[in-house]
Structure 1
């Protein structure tokens, strides 16, 4: 700051007319007209409003994102190489994880680029004057709308499975992919064109105040509201089914034999079956439900904080009255640290601002908490054992490249390690030679032995001997040979006398 830039304005304020209005984010200046002259606070405004080195606190959120990034990389790699039986992965989970990573990367970019927040002494940089601002702001806002969109899609999928018993198939997958990618891209493009991003606090660019409600925050809140509504409907349906199952008058709606019992009503049976089905689905999806609820709660908090920030910095008469004690204190003492108490009515509290930045940076922590499970570690252990630990296998000797033996009825099980290391004879384990068992069969078999008949416990009928009415036009076995193409039996009754019925057989 030089004295020539103060102009007609008292220190520490700078005269706005001495600066160019061609580049930088002009709307980010904090200026007030005094005696017909527009006087502005130096950039960045956060150093005057929050003098306790708030920049270092916001940068600490970026380092938290760096510390959590390897866990997200490990999670994506697990989805890629570990079998699905260990991870229960699906495209919604993978895309949601990628959206969370976008929020994380936005806070990592400034740590490497170390951007300059101000274009000149009173004007902050925006996406047109700083490339780091353009990337960090676009990635942050794309990740925010993508997280909300995939949360809504995940909630819809769970609702269809629980409440409507719909099997999620390829049609839903392609519709979800189109919506989950197309909607965030469209909203981000409209936001960048009509609103834009700039440095408002910290090293990450955030959405500007003008037009931000219509092209970004309202779509986010609509999607969040729909997701919460569907989530509550699903939970209400689960509670309803659970209560119905508690009022079942017959706790044992099925007996031990597996056959249905008709003592209870059909309505009661349906409630118990629905409860068992829902219990299985919730057991698999409770992590998703908890994750969605947590993320949506954070999104609502972000929305409230940003709206309060925009309203507190708007050029209104109420804000001017609230800011006057703070501005007069700066005129008198020229030190922002001595005017901290007067600055409480300007903007939002420092604790609330830092909390919002930290929650944005560590949003992926919730994904780790609710997604990572012990079965994923078991999957890695199983993968390591199957790929890198030598397995001892026994193979047939016929697999070797040598002439086939003359005797083919004997088989050998060989150790492949001996084949690879030593030319000595193999250790062979041969199967016993086939034995003819025909000679050990009994010479005579009595097929006429009587056998007792045991009536089954759950039988609903019993065998009956042939009645006389069944013998009209029928042979001794109870069926009419003239009604089929079978040849008649000409054997005498004396030849068939040795056949007897035992208990109706």
Structure 2
């Protein structure tokens, strides 16, 4: 097929003359996009389905981020490792959602696909996909490292680790996307989402990505190995001190813990972090699977370009069948990744947000949003109530009476000096007079029938203020005039007036007051 440019290309191939770039051969080129000829028509349905799964995943990520931002921490239990990982997965999902919404044209001309220089949709989707992949790998690595330090080394991660995580979790992905854009570039090579070109892609993307993924797997399995070791050691620990206590012999000594105590501490950490462990395993599996599949695809395409004889059976079949690809799909199989594998990669990448909301989300987030929606109308109604109306409601409330000044009728928070309130004078005598009669040596009253009646009202008890009393109100200072004691007007209370007992003969026996 190579040779003179004047030859006529059999369908479906097109002559390269008149186009801006070359294609598969020096003369005849396969029409763009290649996936339309190497895969059945159901490939578009598979790609569209993965895009809609990514839409659902994006909604889940947005729900988590809004819940962490708006709801109180006791409803969400938010943590910066979870927030940043969810943001990374959101970026990865946008790499699928943007092409689904924009419906971009994948081809620049009949034989040339669009690239990041000719299509803004290609540039946006490719950047979000690479940044999300890089950030996802880095944040699961940091999460795995944090868990390893806590379990295996008893290291309490704090603010320094947080700042290190922020610098590494976002700094390295920024460096990675810059290197990918400068040294490789992106184009529509596989479906409606832009992917990195094969040139220099191993050095600036795939190898560094797989290195961090491998470190995460090593750290995770090292943590699992330590947990198994602690568990086996706890089975052989039968010391009495271990059976009686869950704690080490003293608080600051973690190294002196017995195997059973160490196992209980590790079990507690795993019970709190098992969701994060599952998320780490899921995302690392997705990224490793994605990387291996696309590296294999790149190597296959490059081998065909370097050795066109590998594609001869497929090209011959297309030429003989006059462009009927359904008759040549078997010959195209050795040169492309199986569609089932491609579908698994796309679905696994698009479903990560759903995994996040299932593992990191809590039912308290839903109840928190319900409470927030229900309380919003009540809050808005209170905001439009006038100040005078609130003062009227305050005056109607009997509990607010003590907040009012008796002289001015204004509230205590206004600039009016309240009346001085003094305690009831201890020299006041109760209207319930003490019974008269003979008294014994203990002060009890001797009745006519010989019974002794305690004198409940004859004694006056003085109140002695403690030396270190900080209670208020206090009596005015010496510089201010001494206030007059407030007399007790029986009409202001519900007590019986003093005139109820005009003379000493109206004696009330305290022991017989409740008799009918």
What is the TM-score normalised by the length of structure 2?
A: 0.70
> May I ask how many residue pairs the two structures share in their alignment?
398
Aligned mate of 1:399, from 400, 403, 425: 403
Match in the other structure for 1:39: 28
Partner of 2:185: 196
Q: Secondary structure at the match of 1:101?
A: helix
CA distance in structure 2 between the aligned counterparts of 1:200 and 1:99, rounded to whole angstroms: 23
- Separation of aligned partners in 1, 2:33 and 2:187: 12
Deviation of 1:361 after TM superposition, in Å, equals: 1.9
By how many angstroms is 1:322 displaced? 3.8
Counterpart Cα distance in 2 of 1:146 and 1:178: 11
Identify if the C-alpha distance between structure 1 residues 395 and 188 changes in structure 2 by more than 3 Å, giving closer, same or farther.
farther
Work out the CA distance in 1 between the residues paired with 2:85 and 2:6.
50
Distance 1:219 1:436, change over 3 A: farther
Shift of 1:397: 3.1
Residues 15 and 220 of structure 1: CA distance in aligned 2, closer, same or farther (over 3 Å)? same
Give the deviation of 1:215 after TM superposition.
Answer: 0.3
C-alpha separation in 1, matches of 2:398 and 2:291: 65
> Displacement, 1:356?
1.4
Deviations 1:44-92 (A, max 9, x none): 1111111324223212211121223222211111111222233221111
CA distance, structure 2, for counterparts of residue 231 and residue 438 of structure 1: 80
d(CA) in 2 for partners of 1:256, 1:348: 58
Residue 20 of structure 2 corresponds to residue 20 of structure 1: yes
Question: Deviation at 1:130?
Answer: 0.7
Q: Cα offset for 1:305?
A: 0.7
SS of match in other structure, 1:279 = helix
Q: Contact conserved, 2:246 with 2:264, CA < 8 A, in 1?
A: no
For 1:372 and 1:353, how far apart are their aligned partners in 2? 29
1:382–1:11 distance in 2 versus 1, CA, 3 Å: closer
Secondary structure, counterpart of 2:114 in structure 1: coil
Q: Which moved more, 1:246-255 or 1:167-176?
A: 246-255
Aligned partner of 1:299 among 266, 287, 290: 287
Return closer, same or farther for 1:318/1:210 CA change in 2, 3 Å cut-off: closer
Taking the aligned partners of 2:198 and 2:267, their CA distance within structure 1 comes to 46
Cα separation, 2, equivalents of 1:78 and 1:40: 52
Kept in 2: contact 1:322–1:345 (CA 8 A) = no
Pair 1:287 & 2:275 matched: yes
Query: Would the aligned equivalents of 1:117 and 1:203 in 2 still touch at CA under 8 Å?
Result: yes
Match of 1:207 in 2: 196
Equivalent residue, structure 1, for 2:391: none
**Do the aligned residues in 2 keep the contact of 1:127 with 1:134 (CA within 8 Å)?**
yes
Distance in 2 (CA, whole Å) between partners of 1:322 and 1:277 is 59
3-state SS of paired residue (2:25): strand
* 8 Å CA contact 1:72, 1:101 repeated in 2: yes
CA–CA distance in structure 2, aligned partners of residues 139 and 122 of structure 1:
26
Matched, 1:119 2:96: no
Q: Does 1:359 align with 2:352?
A: no
Shift of 1:400: 4.8
Contact 1:6 1:13 in 2 (8 A): no
How far is the alpha carbon of 1:363 from its aligned partner?
Answer: 2.1
- For residues 277 and 387 of structure 1, what CA distance do their matches in structure 2 show? 43
RMSD: 3.3
Deviations 1:86-124 (A, max 9, x none): 322111111110000001111111122211101111110
- Aligned-partner SS, 1:176: helix
CA spacing shift, 1:6–1:367, aligned 2, 3 Å: farther
Task: Map 1:137-156; keep pairs closer than 5 Å.
Answer: 137-156=126-145
* CA–CA separation in structure 2 for the residues paired with 1:257 and 1:439: 59
Alpha-carbon distance change, 276 to 315 in structure 1, aligned in 2, over 3 angstroms: closer
Tell me whether 1:64 sits opposite 2:53 in the alignment: yes
Aligned-pair distance for 1:164? Answer: 1.6
Q: TM-score, normalised by structure 1?
A: 0.71
Query: Could you say which structure has the larger radius of gyration?
Result: 2
Q: Is the 8 A contact 1:13 1:39 kept in 2?
A: yes
What does the per-residue CA deviation read over 1:125-153, in whole Å, with 9 as the maximum and x for residues that have no partner? 10001111011001111100010011111
C-alpha contact 2:248 2:258 (8 A) present in aligned 1: no
Please say if residues 7 and 14 of structure 1, whose CA atoms lie closer than 8 Å, have aligned partners that are also in contact.
no
Contact 2:242 2:261 in 1 (8 A): no
Tell me the equivalent position of 1:94. 83
Unpaired segments ≥5 residues, structure 2: 383-396, 411-417, 425-455, 463-516
Matches within 5 A, 1:295-334: 295-316=283-304, 320-334=308-322
1:83-482 aligned within 5 A: 83-250=72-239, 253=242, 255=244, 269-316=257-304, 320-334=308-322, 335-380=324-369, 396-400=400-404, 402=409
Q: Is the 8 A contact 2:13 2:31 kept in 1?
A: yes
Shift in Å, 1:178: 0.8
In 2, the alpha carbon distance for the partners of 1:170 and 1:256 equals 32
Are the equivalent residues in 2 in contact too, given 1:55–1:201 (CA < 8 A)?
Answer: no
Q: Distance in 1 between matches of 2:457 and 2:231?
A: 65
- CA deviations 1:152-193 (Å, max 9, x no partner) are 111111111111222222111111111111100000010011
The separation in 2 between residues aligned to 1:273 and 1:259, in whole angstroms, is: 7
Query: Separation in 1 of the partners of 2:248 and 2:354?
Result: 49
**Structure 2 counterpart of 1:477:** none
